[in-house]
Structure 1
Amino acid sequence: MTIYATNGAKLFIGGVLASKSTDFVEADFTAQSWVEIGEVEALGSVGDTSTEITFDSITANRTRRLKGTRNAGAMEVVAGIDYGDAGQIALLAAEKTIHDYAFKLELNDAPEGGTPSERYFIAKVGTAVEALETANNVMKLNATLWVNSNVVKVDAAPGI
């Protein structure tokens, strides 16, 4: 079994991509032009969870649980502020709109000579705020991506 570190992962923002009534697939993202978001320190988490629906049965004296709608969560991204970084500029611009944007996460898990795993999804940029904490800290851009789709997982592939 092999495990991998988060360091070396990259986050990219694409263009506006509308939601749809079915799950996204990798091909839905092929027309995107990607811009890397620079100086990322933390990527947060992303992935589906189901809403719990409960029913308290009097006769069975038992709470029954069902799965409800799926929610891919909110990805909390932290980056060191770089006013000239094209990806951060695009992220700030996306926060000002009502649209969903395409995102790509490239992991640092490529086998020797191969390609890394990727994750694709759409999200609204819900927040983009500056954190200007204490004297011995880097000024940071904290962005929240409200994920509005399934997360398409593409596995790492070996080299040929």
Structure 2
Amino acid sequence: MPVNTGAGTRISIGPRLTAKLTTDHAAALTLLKAITYVEVGEVESIGDYGDTTTDVSFAALAAGRAEHLKGLKDGGTTDVTIGFDAGDAGQLALVAAYDDRSRFDYPIKVEYVDGYVDYFAAKVMGNKKTGITTGDVLKRVVTLGINSDIIEDDAEEDAGD
């Protein structure tokens, strides 16, 4: 499949989950695909997202060399920059998720122009307005704290099943 630009990418948020997302990718994908999402309007950019693994190092005296092991996986955070629209249903859903103090996450769906879709569970950790000058568009920057694996769905593979 050829490379693409980010043009045409969409991000959506679903209703709060009622339990922790399962680590079984097939079961999680089935659940996440069945959810009704609200698209977030006026998205300008989506920051980097995906897991990193912490470095756990160990130095045995006799070896005289550090050994690196994989520790915890961390989805980290990503910023979504949006042109502020106080009436956009997706932006309002993000604000409501930010205000929600529940221990449960919100499902997020990122759809690419080539049919690939990423799903993950996150908490909305930040909600800031930026660009407050006479020469900029007023923007909202929403920070998502990712609490699950990134579950990739290839629409073409699904069509061949």
CA contact (8 A) 1:23 1:149 kept: no
Alignment of 1:152 with 2:151, yes or no, is yes
Cα distance in 2, alignment partners of residues 117 and 15 from structure 1 = 22
Aligned partner letter, 1:75: T
- SS across alignment from 1:157: helix
Count of aligned pairs? 154
Q: Report which of the two has the higher share of helix.
A: 2
Cα distance in 1, alignment partners of residues 67 and 24 from structure 2 = 28
Number of the residue aligned with 1:13? 13
Alignment of 1:85 with 2:84, yes or no, is no
- SS across alignment from 1:136: coil
- SS across alignment from 2:63: coil
TM-score, length-scaled by structure 2:
0.89
CA contact (8 A) 2:21 2:121 kept: no
Output aligned runs, 1:115-134, within 5 Å: 116-134=115-133
Alignment of 1:2 with 2:2, yes or no, is yes
CA deviations over 1:14-65 (Å, ceiling 9, x no partner): 0112324624431021331110000000101111111110112211110110
TM-score, length-scaled by structure 1:
0.89
Q: Which moved more, 1:34-43 or 1:67-76?
A: 67-76
Cα distance in 1, alignment partners of residues 22 and 6 from structure 2 = 32
- SS across alignment from 2:156: coil
Alignment of 1:36 with 2:35, yes or no, is no
Q: CA RMSD in A?
A: 1.8
CA contact (8 A) 1:75 1:145 kept: yes
CA contact (8 A) 1:131 1:139 kept: yes
After TM superposition, the runs of 4+ consecutive aligned structure 1 residues lying more than 2 A away are 20-25
Number of the residue aligned with 1:52? 55
Unaligned runs of 5+ in 2: none
